[in-house]
């Protein structure tokens, strides 16, 4: 990026820079709405090469981002504006603009994302303060910065979700500023990663999916979201659009609430199905922000065990051969392998199957969650660090406050793909095997050619893992630390804390938080 600009290019005026990050939309973008009332603005997106060199970033993320940026630019042009792209370090970009213009103000949403963006924002804040530049930041999706505790957080969230949605009714006064070209994936050293069937990251597609879910496909969401056979069609598939900010959580929440009023005209059975699904979906919108709030409150969740008692438990026993087999769907367990191969090809998987993949890696294979989480972060187009690392730790048993749940991949197969339809779609080498052995092909008389024996014994590996994890919970200090974690992160509507094992369920700590991503 050059700093050589002619005198006539320099326009000595106050410039409001709207820094788009994870809010790639015009609707319900209060940052853009408010900045637009202050005079000329510069709608800016910064492509940061250093971000795209991080281990959790991938080709499929950038492909989706490219769609979103082009969609945002089209929408801005309808408002007589345009999106300006700058490639480089954020501090360098703002330094360049600050030299070029008499005075700048930066407007943006507060970003709660991966560790790299956390450190980058601290650098931008330091630079802005040192250069007397105002940086105005707004809350995003009900996540609160500097939260003292979780008391009443849910009430605050609902209040935030019911606030009016702002929109732009007039053209935007935009400063003319040269734009860089959007780099190609190859320019950023992002290699093709096997994605063959991806969602398109446009606002139009997000609106279409929301409308379809609320009026047609979401009817049986609550009963069909667990099976990969039905989840692709019954889930909203909006997670990536929310993660990139193409659509806000508030927009989805209010559209859902509006549609509830339409149910009164339906027959009783249909009305009950829709009500169950809407209630289930609405709760998961809140969980979405609840998990991101955890990362906001404790950024180290991305890197360290939430409960310190698990430090050192898996780190020194990492089996790279097992990791490689798991990564590419070659474990010998059909449901695990089919889920991984489908994820590689499509970039999406329903929650229960995500949980099973993590559980299998963390317990049966005894792999540390940090390495497996990075691999999955690369594959999930809807990768959202706050949700991702909280869920990975939860399914790996390292939070100290959640139910330990070890998924049996064979049982999951028979429960959610009894005829093997999903398995055979993604594992063609098992196409000829009978329904009886579709999830235990090693028990058939002849193992199908091209498919492997299981890399571990399911029962013994599961029992050994359970024993190791539960032994740690017997430590006298375990519950004391777990209580402090709950005080900081536990979901609750009232200030009164309740902590401890359930009387009705053995070995249970607090509750299991689930989110069908």
Give 198-229 pLDDT, tens digit per residue.
Answer: 899 999 999 999 999 999 999 999 999 999 99
pLDDT band at residue 493 using 50, 70 and 90 as cut-offs: low
Q: CA-to-CA distance for 516 and 352, rounded, in angstroms?
A: 7
Average pLDDT over the chain, rounded to an integer = 92
Contact yes or no for 114/302 (Cβ under 8 A): yes
Contact yes or no for 67/202 (Cβ under 8 A): yes
Per-residue pLDDT, averaged over 243-260, amounts to: 97
Q: What percent of the chain has pLDDT over 90?
A: 87
Per-residue pLDDT, averaged over 19-36, amounts to: 98
Per-residue pLDDT, averaged over 449-462, amounts to: 96
Reduce the secondary structure of 193-244 to three states and give it as a string: CCCCCCCCCCHHHHHHHHHHHHHCHHHHHHHHCCCHHHHHHHCCCCHHHHHC
pLDDT surpassing 70 at residue 509 = no
Q: What percent of the chain has pLDDT over 70?
A: 92
Q: What is the dihedral of CA 138, 385, 316, 469, to 10 degrees?
A: 100
Per-residue pLDDT, averaged over 171-195, amounts to: 96
pLDDT at 496: 47
Neighbouring C-beta atoms of residue 33, cutoff 10 Å: 18
Q: How many CA atoms lie within 13 A of 266 on its CB side?
A: 16
pLDDT surpassing 90 at residue 508 = no
Q: Which helix (H) or strand (E) holds 106?
A: strand 103-109
Q: Which residues pair with 41 in a beta bridge?
A: 16, 174
Q: How do residues 75-126 score in pLDDT, each as one tens digit?
A: 999 999 999 999 999 999 999 999 999 899 999 999 999 999 999 999 999 9
Q: How do residues 130-178 score in pLDDT, each as one tens digit?
A: 999 999 999 999 999 999 889 999 999 999 999 999 988 889 999 999 9
Neighbouring C-beta atoms of residue 170, cutoff 10 Å: 8
| Sheet order of strands, 84-87 included | 84-87, 41-47, 14-20, 103-109, 134-138
Q: How many CA atoms lie within 13 A of 34 on its CB side?
A: 14
Of the candidate ranges 27-36, 229-238, 406-415, 476-485, the one whose mean pLDDT is the lowest = 476-485
Q: How do residues 298-336 score in pLDDT, each as one tens digit?
A: 999 999 999 999 999 998 889 999 999 999 999 999 999
pLDDT surpassing 70 at residue 8 = no
Chain center to CA of 299: 15
Give the pTM: 0.93
Sorted by where each starts, the structural domains of the chain and their CATH numbers stand as: 14-138 (3.40.50.620), 203-297 (1.25.40), 306-489 (1.10.579.10)
pLDDT at 170: 87
**Tokens describing residue 88:** 């480089």
The DSSP code for 453 is P
pLDDT at 9: 39
pLDDT band at residue 475 using 50, 70 and 90 as cut-offs: confident
Per-residue pLDDT, averaged over 6-14, amounts to: 48
Q: How do residues 262-284 score in pLDDT, each as one tens digit?
A: 898 999 999 999 999 999 999 99
Q: How do residues 375-421 score in pLDDT, each as one tens digit?
A: 999 999 999 999 999 999 999 999 999 989 999 999 999 999 999 99
DSSP letter for each residue of 362-375: IIIS---HHHHHHH
Q: CA-to-CA distance for 439 and 423, rounded, in angstroms?
A: 8
Contact yes or no for 348/478 (Cβ under 8 A): no
pLDDT at 13: 67
Q: Closest Cα partner for 82 from 47, 46, 109, 42?
A: 42
């Amino acid at each position: 990026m050059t700093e050589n600009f002619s005198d006539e290019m320099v326009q000595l005026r106050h410039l409001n820079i709207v820094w788009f990050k994870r809010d790639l939309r015009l609707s319900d973008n209060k940052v853009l709405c408010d900045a637009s009332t202050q005079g000329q603005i510069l709608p800016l997106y910064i492509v940061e090469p250093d971000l795209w060199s991080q281990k959790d970033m991938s080709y499929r993320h950038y492909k989706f981002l490219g769609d979103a940026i082009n969609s945002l630019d089209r929408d801005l042009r309808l408002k007589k504006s345009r999106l300006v792209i700058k490639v480089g370090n954020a501090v360098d970009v703002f330094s360049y603009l600050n030299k070029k213009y008499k005075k700048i103000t930066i407007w943006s949403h507060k970003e709660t994302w991966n560790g790299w963006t956390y450190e980058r924002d601290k650098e931008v804040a330091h630079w802005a303060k040192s250069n007397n530049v105002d940086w105005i930041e707004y809350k995003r999706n009900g996540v609160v910065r500097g939260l003292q505790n979780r008391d009443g957080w849910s009430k605050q969230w609902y209040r935030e979700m019911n606030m009016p949605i702002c929109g732009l009714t007039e053209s935007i006064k935009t400063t003319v500023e040269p734009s860089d070209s959007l780099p190609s994936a190859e320019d950023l050293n992002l290699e093709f990663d096997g994605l063959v069937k991806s969602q398109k990251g446009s606002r139009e597609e997000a609106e279409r999916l929301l409308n379809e879910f609320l009026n047609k496909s979401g009817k049986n969401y609550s009963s069909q979201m667990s099976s990969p056979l039905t989840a692709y069609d019954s889930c909203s598939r909006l997670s990536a659009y929310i993660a990139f900010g193409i659509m806000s959580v508030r927009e989805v929440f209010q559209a859902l609430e509006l549609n509830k009023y339409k149910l009164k005209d339906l027959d009783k059975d249909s009305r009950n199905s829709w009500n169950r699904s809407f209630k289930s979906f609405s709760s998961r919108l809140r969980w979405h922000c609840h998990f991101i709030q955890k990362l906001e409150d404790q950024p180290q969740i991305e890197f360290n065990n939430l409960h310190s008692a698990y430090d050192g438990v898996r780190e020194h026993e990492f089996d790279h051969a097992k990791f490689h087999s798991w990564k590419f769907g070659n474990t010998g367990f059909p449901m695990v392998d089919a889920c991984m191969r489908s994820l590689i090809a499509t970039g999406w998987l329903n929650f229960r199957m995500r949980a099973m993949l993590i559980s299998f890696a963390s317990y049966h294979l005894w792999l540390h969650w940090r390495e497996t989480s990075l691999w999955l972060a690369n594959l999930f187009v809807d990768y959202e660090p706050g949700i991702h690392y909280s869920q990975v730790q939860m399914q790996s048993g390292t939070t100290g406050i959640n139910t330990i749940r070890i998924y049996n991949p064979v049982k999951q197969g028979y429960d959610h793909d009894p005829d093997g339809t999903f398995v055979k779609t993604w594992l063609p080498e098992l196409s000829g095997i009978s329904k009886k052995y579709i999830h235990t092909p090693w028990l058939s008389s002849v193992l199908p050619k091209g498919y492997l024996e299981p890399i571990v014994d399911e029962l013994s590996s599961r029992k050994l893992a359970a024993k190791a994890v539960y032994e740690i919970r017997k430590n006298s200090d375990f519950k004391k630390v777990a209580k402090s974690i709950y005080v900081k992160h536990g979901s609750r509507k009232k200030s009164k804390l309740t902590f401890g094992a359930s009387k009705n369920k053995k070995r249970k700590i607090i509750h299991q938080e689930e989110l069908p991503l």
